């Protein structure tokens, strides 16, 4: 009855939210520290090696690089909380503008990648478990093994060669934006496939072993003894009970999926955050890199926070323990 107890639920949510905020705070300190111990002088990067010492000094002062480190941190985090991540050194526009411009691309790619990963993994994983020890099972596990072994950038190149160059069914890269929905979807198909085939292979294996674990349990026998069809037993009784480990892995995979977009966006020249972070690193564009790393970390922490809350809705037994 814990779910019906709002006080308990609220207590759980408050506790998790405090943990969530503390984690983000820690992440911000680490990100800031790492960025600031990196060698290299941003002023020198901006003005070039021919700049006079006077000009460099002026720029350093203007950028606040001479302030003590804790002041710089507080300035940065204070601005970040208001959506101000400073100005990009290389693009000469506010970092927030760069992010807002490219966010939809990366969000579209991450969501489509995750959705396809989950569908692929659940269908193949459950099918493999249902055919445990038979050719269907071996087939799925063989493909999954290949999927795990293949690097996504190489898979991307193969997909481009086959579907864009030889067959010419799909564009090899670029993104027209959501104002052209059909074009946007067509452009997303190959990058999504490159992400989902690799991630889905890992998740399919987890789904299979988790489902096999559950299939041995007594309540699955009860469901069979109740005369339910195989499909009903699998999808209504086995899968929900197999979900907790699957959701855990989905949460972890989301992190590698987000970082995976860095590679995929570069291979398919998609104008997203992954490509932006790559360019910013090459340009030593400190404010942009710092903002993006913080943003990626925040996304991952947020997803894991959501996963924690989802557990409790999947398994009523966890509610009793919250």
Among 28, 106, 152, 241, binds another protein (CB under 8 A): 241
In sequence order, what are the residues at sequence separation of 6 or more whose Cβ sits closer than 8 angstroms to the Cβ of residue 92?
A: none
Q: Which is nearer to another protein, 109 or 239 (CB)?
A: 239
Among 304, 310, 306, 300, smallest CA distance to 244 is for 310
> Between 206 and 225, how does the x/- string for binding to another protein read (CB under 8 A)?
-----------xxx-xxxxx
Contact call for residue 240 and another protein (CB under 8 A): yes
User: Smallest distance, Å, CB 210 to another protein?
Assistant: 14
Which residue from 226, 231, 259, 269 is in contact with another protein, where contact means CB under 8 A? 226
- Cα–Cα distance, 272 to 269 (Å, whole number): 9
Smallest separation (angstroms) from another protein to the CB of 228: 6
Question: What is the total count of residues that contact another protein (CB under 8 A)?
Answer: 23
Does position 317 bind another protein by CB under 8 A? yes
CB burial of 280-295 (b: ≥16 within 10 Å; e: otherwise) equals beebbbbbbbbbbbbb
Q: Counting contacts by CB under 8 A, is residue 311 touching another protein?
A: no
Report, in Å, the least distance between residue 119 CB and another protein. 21
Q: Quote the least distance from Cβ 241 to another protein, whole Å.
A: 6
Using rule CB under 8 A, residue 37 touches another protein: no
Q: Nearer to another protein by C-beta: 130 or 195?
A: 130
Nearer to another protein, 163 or 228 (CB): 228
Distance CA 254, CA 145 (A): 20
| Phi, psi of 85, rounded to the nearest 5 degrees | -100, 20
23 in Cβ contact with 301 (< 8 Å): yes
CB of residue 214 to another protein, shortest distance in Å: 10
Q: How far apart are CA 158 and CA 154, in angstroms?
A: 6
Task: Identify which of residues 31 and 238 has a Cβ nearer to another protein in the complex.
Answer: 238
Give Cβ neighbours of residue 268 (< 8 Å, ≥ 6 apart): 156, 160, 172, 173, 174, 187, 190, 191, 194
Binding of residue 138 to another protein (CB under 8 A) = no
Rounded alpha-carbon distances, angstroms, from residue 174 to 73, 112, 183, 201, 266:
36, 16, 10, 26, 10
State the residues that interact with another protein by CB under 8 A.
1, 217-219, 221-230, 232, 237, 240-241, 314-317, 320
């Amino acid at each position: 009855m814990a779910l019906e107890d709002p006080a308990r639920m609220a207590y759980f949510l408050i506790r998790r939210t405090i943990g969530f905020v503390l984690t983000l705070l820690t992440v911000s300190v680490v990100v800031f520290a790492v960025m600031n111990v990196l060698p290299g002088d941003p002023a020198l990067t901006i003005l070039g090696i021919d700049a006079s010492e006077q000009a460099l000094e002026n720029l350093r002062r203007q950028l606040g690089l001479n302030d003590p480190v804790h002041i710089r941190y507080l300035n940065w985090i204070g601005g970040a909380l208001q959506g101000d991540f400073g100005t990009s050194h290389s693009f000469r526009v506010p970092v927030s503008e760069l992010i807002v411009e490219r966010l939809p691309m990366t969000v579209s790619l991450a969501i489509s990648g995750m959705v396809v990963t989950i569908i692929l993994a659940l269908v193949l994983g459950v099918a493999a478990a249902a055919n445990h020890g038979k050719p269907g099972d071996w087939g799925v596990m063989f493909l999954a093994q290949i999927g795990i072994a293949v690097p996504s950038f190489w898979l991307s190149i193969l997909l481009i060669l086959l579907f864009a160059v030889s067959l010419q069914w799909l564009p090899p890269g670029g993104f027209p934006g959501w104002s052209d929905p059909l074009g946007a979807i067509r452009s997303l198909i190959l990058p999504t496939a490159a992400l989902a085939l690799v991630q889905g292979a890992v998740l399919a294996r987890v789904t299979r072993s988790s489902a096999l674990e559950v299939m041995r349990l007594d309540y699955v026998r009860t469901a069979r003894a109740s005369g339910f069809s195989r499909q009903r037993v699998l999808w209504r009784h086995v899968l929900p009970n197999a979900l907790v480990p699957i959701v855990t892995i989905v949460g972890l995979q989301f992190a590698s999926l987000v970082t995976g977009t860095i590679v995929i966006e570069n291979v398919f020249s998609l104008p997203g955050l992954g490509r932006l972070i790559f360019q910013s690193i090459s340009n030593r564009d400190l404010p942009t890199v710092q903002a993006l790393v913080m943003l990626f970390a925040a996304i991952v922490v947020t997803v894991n926070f959501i996963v924690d809350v989802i557990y409790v809705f999947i398994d009523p037994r966890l509610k009793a323990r919250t």
